[in-house]
Structure 1
Amino acid sequence: MQYSTENLINIYGSGQGLPTAKQWETLLSGDMNSPLTVVNFFKFSDRADSTLISGKEMAGREAFAVYVKTSVPKVSQVGGHFILRGIVEGSLIGDNSTQWDIVAIGQYPRREYFFKLFQDDEYQKAFKFRQAALEKQDVFLVSTV
């Protein structure tokens, strides 16, 4: 599959808890053959956004658990792995303006493998639960050369 900003926006959207067009472009501009680490910080909403998950009423944590049930095995299936998935205890340094609930760090031997997630139909469906679950998230792309 040829990836483009337009294609990714058509499938996943852009802005408001999703990458902006510029952020999608940053992801696409990297060397597809080089390693990539993805660092995720997640803050749950009290209630999941039911409009994103076919009207289902659930807590943010519950919706995120639905996402995790699909996403964790999918990361392995595409050739990646998690080096860390954990609950944040608290802040040691910094202003702690956002008290994150979970941190997850995934590694992919090739950036191209990360894109395989975006192609997967089951992952695309599960991703809606991620969107619905979160009040806030920060996701960083780290080149590991």
Structure 2
Amino acid sequence: MTTSTGVETMQVKNETAPRPELAQAFFSDADHGPMVMVNLLKFKDKATYPDGRDHELSGREAYDRYGAGVVACLEKVGGRVVYSGPVSGIILGDVEELWDAVALAYYPSPQAMLQMVALPEYQAIEIHRYAGLAGQLNIRTKAPQ
């Protein structure tokens, strides 16, 4: 898309789950070793659990429950949280709405990420992720080996 000043803009679409075709391509990349996932997070104003519980929680508070549990899940597959914090501003570029937080997670491989999401303890906390997130972007980067 081009603006009236002739500058190219990028359309951004936050999602809460990967589209199947993108997930297949992502996890079938045999040439990809260690990676750092950049997570740009947008929270719901209020948490929305399917069973209606904890309706007084903010989306951020629900996601924090997920974040507290995901640390142990990452460690089980050889990963770790590199950084997590709130977005406080933007100096370059333009988006309609800023993300609320950024989290960087190291994984030894895409397969380690698949192993993590298959863990029963991960599946038990994932409800908090969906309850709190309005959407996010996940960007894979190559980590130094």
Q: Secondary structure at the match of 1:50?
A: coil
Give 4+ residue runs of structure 1 displaced > 6 Å after superposition.
none
Offset, 1:32: 7.6
In structure 1, the gaps of 5 or more residues are: 1-15
Aligned twin of 2:128: 129
User: C-alpha root-mean-square deviation of aligned residues, in Å?
Assistant: 2.0
Deviation digits for residues 78-121 of structure 1 (CA, Å, limit 9, x no counterpart):
10112211111111111132211110111122322222211111
The Cα shift of 1:35 comes to 1.2
Q: Which residue of 2 aligns with 1:106?
A: 105
- Give the Cα–Cα distance (whole angstroms) in 1 for the partners of residues 84 and 37 of structure 2: 12
Does the residue aligned with 1:43 lie in a helix, a strand or coil? strand
- Identical-pair percentage: 29
State the TM-score, normalized to the length of structure 2.
Answer: 0.79
**Structure 2: unaligned runs, 5 residues or longer:** 1-14
Retained in 1: the 8 A contact 2:40–2:103?
yes
Residues 42 and 102 in structure 1, CA contact (< 8 A), matched pair in contact too: yes
Q: SS at 2:136's partner residue?
A: strand
Measured after TM superposition, the shift of residue 45 of structure 1 is 0.6
Q: Larger Cα Rg: Structure 1 or Structure 2?
A: 2
Residues 27 and 110 in structure 2, CA contact (< 8 A), matched pair in contact too: no
- Rounded to whole Å, the distance in 2 between the matches of 1:17 and 1:97 is 18
Provide closer, same or farther for how the CA distance between residues 136 and 60 of structure 1 changes in structure 2, counting only shifts above 3 A: same
1 or 2, which has the higher helix percentage? 1
- Within 5 A, what are the aligned runs for 1:1-145? 17-31=16-30, 34-51=33-50, 54-56=51-53, 57=55, 58-144=57-143
Once the two structures are superposed, what CA deviation does each residue of 1:59-78 show, in whole Å capped at 9, x if it has no partner?
Answer: 10111111112112211221
